[in-house]
Amino acid sequence: MSILSEIYEGWKNYLFENPEVEEEAKNRMKICVECEKFRTNQTCEMCGCFMPAKVRSKQSHCPENKWKSMS
């Protein structure tokens, strides 16, 4: 999957809640919020992504390897 596909999937699942990914997205977001790289504007210092959308992309992963893709 291309990076654009990952971004699209994350934003789609963020804007239109997908029950299939919500539980894992919440678990991922907990990890992000506790990370020293998490910024107050909800972006990641490492990748620059808006994390509420990124955690909802099944194919995305943490650049710090704190969580993996869902598939």
Domain boundaries, the chain: 3-54
pLDDT tens for 14-62 read 999 999 999 999 999 999 999 999 999 999 999 999 999 999 999 999 9
Residue 25's CB is within 10 A of a number of other CB atoms, namely 24
With 80 as the cut, is the pLDDT of residue 71 above it? no
Which whole-number Å values give the CA distances from 17 to 10, 33, 34, 37, 50, in the listed order? 10, 20, 23, 26, 16
Provide the whole-model pTM: 0.92
Q: Cα–Cα distance between 18 and 39 in angstroms, integer?
A: 25
